[in-house]
Structure 1
Amino acid sequence: MTNKMANPVSGSISSQKFVLSKAYLLLAVSFIPCALGALAGAVVNPMALLGGGWMGIILFFAFLYGMVFFIEKNRYNKIGIALLQVFTFSMGMMIGPVLGMLLGSAAGTQIVFSAAIMTVAVFAAMTFAAHKSKADTAAMSRFLLVGAVVLMTAVIANLFFKIPAVSLAISAVFVVFSSLMIMWQTKAVIEGGETSYISAALTIFISIYNIFSNLLHLLMALTGND
Structure 2
Amino acid sequence: MNQQTLHTSRASTIEVNSMLRNTYMLLSMTLAFSALCAGIAMAVGIGPLMSIGLSLGGLVLLFVTLKKAEGASGIFWIFAFTGMEGASLGYMLNHYANLANGPSLIMQALGLTSVIFVSLSAYALTTKKDFSFLRGFLFAGLVVMIVASLVNMFLGNGMVFMAVNAGIALLMTGFILYDTSRIVNGGETNYIRATVSLYLDFLNLFIALLHLMGIGGDD
Q: TM-score, normalised by structure 2?
A: 0.88
- 1:212 equivalent to 2:206? Answer yes
Residue 61 of structure 2 corresponds to 67
Distance (Å, rounded) in 2 between the aligned partners of 1:130 and 1:152: 26
Deviation at 1:33, TM superposition (A): 2.2
SS in 1 for 2:179: helix
- Indicate how the Cα distance of structure 1 residues 46 and 71 shifts in structure 2: closer, same or farther if over 3 A, else same: farther
State whether residues 130 and 182 of structure 2, in contact with CA within 8 Å, keep that contact through their aligned partners in structure 1.
no
- 1:115 equivalent to 2:109? Answer yes
Letter in 1 for 2:218: N
Residue 218 of structure 2 corresponds to 225
Deviations 1:175-201 (A, max 9, x none): 111111111111000000000110111
**Bigger CA drift: 180-189 or 105-114?**
105-114
SS in 1 for 2:73: helix
Fraction of identical pairs, as percent: 25
Distance (Å, rounded) in 2 between the aligned partners of 1:175 and 1:45: 26
Deviation at 1:172, TM superposition (A): 0.8
Any residues of structure 2 matched to 1:37-52 within 5 Å, and which? 37-42=37-42, 43-45=44-46, 47-49=48-50
State whether residues 171 and 214 of structure 1, in contact with CA within 8 Å, keep that contact through their aligned partners in structure 2.
yes
How large is the RMSD of aligned CA atoms in angstroms?
A: 2.2
Distance (Å, rounded) in 1 between the aligned partners of 2:19 and 2:193: 10
Give the gaps of 5 or more residues in structure 2: none
Deviations 1:29-87 (A, max 9, x none): 1023212211222123153337xxxxx4xx55643432221111111223222111111
- 1:21 equivalent to 2:21? Answer yes
Give the gaps of 5 or more residues in structure 1: 51-55
State whether residues 54 and 84 of structure 2, in contact with CA within 8 Å, keep that contact through their aligned partners in structure 1.
no
Residue 53 of structure 1 corresponds to none
Distance (Å, rounded) in 2 between the aligned partners of 1:154 and 1:192: 34
State whether residues 19 and 189 of structure 2, in contact with CA within 8 Å, keep that contact through their aligned partners in structure 1.
yes
SS in 2 for 1:7: helix
How many pairs were matched up?
215
SS in 2 for 1:78: coil
Q: TM-score, normalised by structure 1?
A: 0.86
Residue 141 of structure 1 corresponds to 135
- Alignment equivalent of 1:124, drawn from 115, 118, 127: 118
Distance (Å, rounded) in 2 between the aligned partners of 1:134 and 1:94: 35
